[in-house]
Amino acid sequence: MPLVPPDGDTRVGKERTLSQLVAQASEDISTIISKEIELAKLEIQGSLVHVKQGVPLLVVAGVLVLYAIGLLFTAGAWGLYAAGLPAWAAFLIVGGVLVVLAGILAYVGQKALKKVNPKPTRAIAGVEETLSTLKSARESGSVHAKAVPASKSQVALPRAASGSQVAGASRSQDS
C-alpha cells in the first residue's frame, strides 16, 4: 500500500521533511495499535459466545443438584420415618434422576467452557510482528541516517507503481 501524504499529492519528485515523515510514522503507529486493539476485542467477543453457552448450563446444573440434595434428604427422612412405606422410594427415584440430569448438564456446560480461549492470540501475534518490524526499521534507519550526509537527508515520496520503495533513494546513493 503506497504512502499518501495528508494533502493527497503523490508526485514522485516531491520530497518531505524529516518532521513530516516522523509525524506520518506516528500516525501510522497509532493506527496500527488501534487496529490491534480492535482485533483483540473481536477475539475476546468470540470467546464470550462459548461462555454464554456454558455458564447457564452450569447454573442450571447447580440448581438441580440443590433440588436433588433436598429431595434425597427428604427421601431419607421419610424412609427412616416410614420404615417400609413405598413413599420414600418415589422420593429417592426422583432425586436420583435429578442427580443424573444435573451430571449431564454439568458435563455439557464444562465441555462448552473448555472451548474458551480468553487469550487474544491473533492480536498478540500481530503486535509482536509490528514490534519486530519497528525494531528492524529503526535499526536500518539509524544505519542509513549515518551513511547519508545531512544535506541529502530529505526523502522522496514512494513511487505509485511499486509502493514499497522510496523514490530518490537510489539517486541519493548514486551521487
Tell me the β-bridge partners of 16. Answer: 155
Residue whose C-alpha cell is 442427580: 99
Residue with the larger pLDDT of the pair 46 and 151: 46
Q: What digits encode the pLDDT tens for the residues 43-98?
A: 888 878 878 888 888 999 999 998 888 877 777 667 656 666 677 667 777 678 77
C-alpha to C-alpha distance for 85 and 156, rounded to whole angstroms: 97
* Other Cβ atoms closer than 10 A to 138: 10
- The pLDDT value recorded for residue 158 is 54
Full-prediction pTM beyond 0.85?
no
